[in-house]
Structure 1
Amino acid sequence: MGERASKGRTAVERRSERELVVTRIFDAPVRLVFDAWTKPELFKLWWAPKSMGVPLLSCEMDVRTGGGYRIAFGHDAADSMAFFGKYLEVSPPSRLVWTNDEGGGAVTTVTFEEKDGGTLLVLQELYPSTEALDEAFLGMEDAMPEQFEQLDDLLATLRASV
């Protein structure tokens, strides 16, 4: 796994019938990367892939074990699509685990590990079935690299302002 992740490159792979793993090394300290995942004002700046042309309407995050989140995409409330769930584990600044209560019902685990002055990020999604992963994988193979590219750009801006 460690060999596949490199700075500026997002690796998206199926690990099993129900598991998807995305890795990337960001040129930023762990705390900054963790903040970008847990502070709504930062999260909304990078999460929606710009190529989709669908803006993030709202982002509510109660980032604590047992807390919840709700993220809505769309041009207005009438055409919005929401993603929501609960945080199962929040261990700053090294680990986040949450449920995805819409659609496939995957459980997502993200780990943040210091690596050569940067951050190795590993996102793992475990789906309830092969079919649920098949459906999600189609969109994620293109979306995740774009999202992580946007996160990289945000982190560069944040590093420059520190």
Structure 2
Amino acid sequence: MPVTTLSEGTPDKTRVEKRGDRELVVIRRFDAPVHLVYKAWADPALFRQWWVPRSYGMTLVSCEMDVRVGGTYRLEIGHASSDQPMAFFGTYIEVEPDCRIVWTNEESPDGAVTTVSFTEEDGGTEVSISNRFPTAEAMEQELASGACEGTAESLKQLEEFLQV
């Protein structure tokens, strides 16, 4: 499967790769142990502190996460230009503490299946976020939306959060 690196426009420690015509992967290494990085993804009280990119002028209005197989999540993100928050929701289909979280994105028929993998390396952690889309067109729409840049900014915020 061909891999194309698309890291332009993302913070320097973040890599974005296009793997084939339906998979998009964002990778970043953190100088923190895997159990702390995983906890920042799995604990809603921690997740809400770093997830929404600050430069987008958005706020996380609500964050409900039941991180277990069969559990669900619902994130509502507000923006001053809209009176209605955007809702993102789905179901966790695989959860392996300190290793992997897999969930569906059900807010659209073009929603991807997201796999976040945590790999411990020399006391640090590499996070790989793979989004597998149902069609090539859905992936191209994701690329055009600027979502990769937003994810890269969120990961930069996660790095700052982990350093506190």
Question: TM-score, length-normalised on structure 2?
Answer: 0.88
- For residues 28-85 of structure 1, give each alpha carbon's deviation from its aligned partner in whole angstroms, at most 9, with x where no partner exists: 0000000010111110111100011010000000110000000000158942000000
CA-atom RMSD, angstroms? Answer: 1.6
Q: CA distance change for structure 1 residues 47 and 14 in 2, over 3 Å: closer, same or farther?
A: same
Question: TM-score, length-normalised on structure 1?
Answer: 0.89
Could you tell me which runs of 5 or more consecutive residues in structure 2 were left unpaired when the two chains were aligned.
4-11
Distance 1:9 1:101 in 2: 30
Distance 2:117 2:63 in 1: 21
Asked if 1:30 corresponds to 2:30, the answer is: no
Could you tell me which runs of 5 or more consecutive residues in structure 1 were left unpaired when the two chains were aligned.
2-7, 158-162
Aligned length: 151
Name the structure 2 match of 1:129: 135
Distance 2:103 2:24 in 1: 15
Identity %: 50
| Structure 1 outlier segments of 4+, above 4 Å | none
Give the match's secondary structure for 1:133.
Answer: helix
Deviation of 1:142 after TM superposition, in Å, equals 1.2
Deviation of 1:10 after TM superposition, in Å, equals 0.5
1:74 paired residue among 72, 78, 88: 78
Name the structure 2 match of 1:5: none
Verify the 8 A CA contact 2:26 2:148 in the aligned structure 1. no
Q: Which has the higher helix share?
A: 1
